[in-house]
A and B are shown apart, each in its own frame.
Chain A
Amino acid sequence: MKKISAVPIIYILFLMLPIYWLVNMSFKTTNEILGTFSLWPQEFTVANYVKIFTDSTWYTGYFNSLTYVGLNTVISVSVALPAAYAFSRFRFLGDKHLFFWLLTNRMAPPAVFALPFFQLYSAIELFDTPLAVALAHCLFNIPLAVWILEGFMSGVPKELDETAYVDGYPFWRFFIRIFLPTIAAGIGVACFFAFMFSWVELLLAKTLTSVAAKPIAATMTRTASTAGYELGLLAAAGTLTIIPGAFVIYFVRNYIAKGFALGRV
């Protein structure tokens, strides 16, 4: 193996420290957390994790989060695909303005939209459902997915489309059988970012849910405020929210650099 410079290692250590502290806390008892200061658990316990996996208010939180994140990823990417294709291949009335308008939504502060969203989704009776959060997250994830996919699609020569038409492929069959596999990497990158931004966002997710569809991160906030100082439990729940993200990064690690290389995030 080649030698590696010290700077990235120091940086990674800096990144890992707070995470380590969180994991460390999650294996401690409440008494130990509040009573002593120790670099690793003195009385190692998995009680916090057991509690999360057995108490339905906790684990349904995970389920809710993953449901709306998954829904949002599927909706965002699947509607973005034809749109990105249109932007990369055709010129049509208002195309440039439309593209810019889509991007401005990435700039909208969620705090601005929190209250109107609450009223809007209450009015159409979707309040407190995963679908409401999934749809709300489309606000910033669809523009992002369109932007990323358009970049990848522009890299595919138009001759591919033309050859397929000459060979007599109907459009949809060409699109699904030939075109989508060609930009598989781009779809991977788009899914990654849709997943990422939906998973980490909380302001809207919290505003649009109360009990039935409460995301895990919101359950944590409630614990912190109402159930007193259950830091161990909080730490364990936090640790568990890191895991899905870590998995996703591991699987798409080779695509990320490529997605970033296009300057499309």
Chain B
Amino acid sequence: MNKTTYQKAWFFVLPVVALVAFNALIPLMTVVNYSVQETFGDNVFFWEGVKWFEDVLNSERFHASLLRQLMFTGIILAIEIPLGVAIALTMPKKGPWVSVCLVFMAMPLLIPWNVVGAMWNIFALPDIGLLGHAINGMGIEYNFTRQPFAAWFTTVLMDVWHWTSLVVLLAYAGLRSIPEDYYQAAKIDGAKPWAVFLHIQLPKMKRVLTIAILLRFMDSFMIYTEPFVLTGGGPGNSTTFLSIDLVKVALGQFDLGPAAAMSLIYFLIVLLVCWVFYTLMMKDEDQ
């Protein structure tokens, strides 16, 4: 669309800028401020330079939680994206079932995150939970509060349960926007279902899938509440992801400096990945 240049449009965005800046810039300045200082309470601060950043980047604890975070995000992306697309492909195209499917599938998205954690806790407990009871009933020993593997399995399953619907809804919307003519032409051209998927559906879903991957990357990278309520980061530190570790450092130990430095590094990683991804996507679209 042709836009007119109109500098007074700034007045339209002023309330938004003011509110977001208030919420983003002041806390961010606080974090930056802490990240270069040391305090022993009573508002007494000492200049520390980049010491905290060096400490965090060299600490094995940070490496471990970053690695866990990357593994977790990688696993859930590898499951949720293909699964979501597969489910979207089998959804009915019209009729009363569409609303039924949409309403039920969207439900997990609207449950408060700690309730999701609590619900899965109850669901997966080995003695009183349906899932835990069933798995143990099959003769497999399963207790997510004691076995790291079981804890991972439960956390991943919970995330798949929680967020696959978002991918389904996005992919479904992308599929619905493909004109019927494409399917008809493919039929006449004698295309097999696999070819239809590869040459019509997948290319047309590219945009929404990019958004789905970005959103799932961002949100899974920031995940805190659900695993915190489910496993508390344990057993041991086996499910301590970045956010959980950060809150432990900041609020648990009140190590403001390292926590702030860690926050900034963390934020920069998310920004960097999103930026790279975004640029690649735009470049591809220009071709």
Contacts and interface: CB of A to CB of B under 8 A. Distances in A.
* A–B in direct contact per CB < 8 Å: yes
Interface of A: 1-2, 4-5, 7-8, 11-12, 14-19, 21-22, 25, 33-34, 37, 39, 75, 79-80, 82-83, 85-93, 95, 98, 102, 104-117, 119-120, 135-136, 138-139, 142-143, 146, 154, 158, 196, 199-203, 216-218, 220-221, 224, 231, 234-235, 238, 241-242, 244-246, 248-250, 253-254, 256-258, 260-261, 263, 265
18 contacts: A8-B105, A15-B107, A39-B130, A79-B19, A98-B17, A107-B270, A112-B246, A113-B31, A135-B23, A136-B23, A138-B23, A200-B109, A201-B113, A203-B224, A231-B122, A249-B106, A249-B110, A250-B103
B123 A117 contact: no
Name the interface size band of chain B: 35 or more
Contact of A92 (B9, B92, B130): B9
A92 B119 contact: no
Nearest to B259: A115
Contacts of B133: 37
Interface stretch (B54-62, B194-202, B214-222): B214-222
B287 interface: no
Contacts of A254: 99
B110 A199 contact: yes
Interface of B: 1-10, 12-13, 15-17, 19-20, 22-24, 26-28, 30-31, 86-87, 90-92, 95-97, 99, 101-115, 118-120, 122-123, 127-131, 133, 161, 164-166, 168-170, 172-174, 176-177, 207-208, 211, 215, 218, 221-222, 224-225, 229, 242-243, 246-247, 250-251, 256, 259, 263-264, 266-267, 270-271, 274
Given A79-B16, A120-B27, A37 B128 contact: yes
Contacts of B263: 109, 111-112
A117 B27 contact: yes
A210 B285 CA distance: 48
Contact of A4 (B6, B97, B107): B97
B243 A111 contact: yes
Contact of A90 (B4, B31, B110, B176): B4
